[in-house]
Structure 1
């Protein structure tokens, strides 16, 4: 397996590695019909093809959650944070106090989006707010529900328990070890407000740096022989903890703040994706897909800082499938 140095290495002739130039062109042509800003395709650690601005730091939206999941793995391994710690153990509360039942939610349940804590949350859409179940409608751990309260509270817990700011920690523990070319801690920020004590923690990140993050996961958290993430964390965090095929065929399943393929389901418009595929996703057009069976990393970005720029997950799935089908297996 190849790892990039200061720069990504490109395949000199992708066809020699089993790639169809016609198939890749079909993928490129489809993105020309969409609001795609950048695409990057990595196979065995080398760039197969890429187009758009790979250096521009696009908004990440909910990709941030998968970044934090990776950081959690490091501190769970070293004992700083326990998956079994409850909100009560950690002293976590909010403007409207958590009930005794809600306080029994664990760190693991938050990572799985199964806390059962349905309080107001920052950085969520109107649709997310409207879809939130009634408070106390389920006990902690009983129900998966994509919930920004969980994800934001995990940010609070991380900084409280480690003493590290999320964006600096990402720099020190991930970006530097894997040689990210563009990221600096100032590319992160916080969203605060009256709705909740728990801030959101947005990132901006370049496409080529996001591809490095995917390549780290493809290699089980090891980068060029050096272990960056604990052994077993990639497998555990990208395992299926909740099956969502019936209610969310465009997702498949959910791990620890990662979306995971189930029975070939992962993008609503695509019949089947390779077994074991998992993705980090950000609203309106951001996908990092890792396909371990093919040693493949796929990145799609949309410049969502521009009003009206949006690419649906269905359309990204169509691009992804064209890319996958371009590799002769």
Structure 2
């Protein structure tokens, strides 16, 4: 991400004035106000993800308004999905303002007025991570999407995946190719979340539904790598689709579903085996931790991927070796793990 504003880079007397000038240029015409301008603190980071924008915003107590007049002045025609990371945010758009608590998402639209205020006990900063998606990429009727303005999104399922994606995309830097790909995935996830909230999933293009399902399946696999029962059939059943459907989605990524699970398990084992803090842990326990219940099988597939059995591989690695330096050569599709 690019840091485009940090209040501490400016004289104290100018910090809020410069912040209040910058924010409307970055987002849309807005009015910002604070009770104590001389005590203002803020930071803004931005990432461009192939036509989708991701933002990290931290700010001390403030109030933000977008009025009808401001909308007529300029409307980027976007939908914003925001994660409140720290502090409480009071947000209202077409509904009575309500508190959005930390670790919750809320939705807003650029073409309807809103008001927002945030505060943190003890004088800290509110932290929000958000994605701004062009409305036209959601394939949803405008009147329907307006119903979500100001709605705090229930946790679980797609919400948790969007939350994790926002944290990832607003924490790390990505090259142009990865940024474009991740932006497309983010749009599909936001579109799927909006459709789910509106009970209009069937209105989504087939490609969007499939990309959202693939992202959910990948997250499910990552969260359950240590379960020996994590098989392609289990992944499909967890997402209420047929095994052939799930396998087809992964084949489109140039990797079979069984290969993908084994690949992630081997990556996790490699990371642990080259971690100096885990040198006292037996090799077979590391394999078991990541779903390889048979030590002989673990040794065989690890050797096929990295060129030597896990014990020998660990012995010849330096304490500073990084998993990123090894090339993982996948074996042909087959039984897991």
What band does the TM-score fall into relative to the shorter chain? under 0.3
Q: Give the number of the structure whose residues are more often helix, by fraction.
A: 2
Greater relative contact order structure (CA < 8 Å, 6+ sep): 1
Q: Structure 1 length as normaliser, TM-score?
A: 0.24
Q: Give the number of the structure whose residues are more often strand, by fraction.
A: 2
> Highest CA radius of gyration, 1 or 2?
2
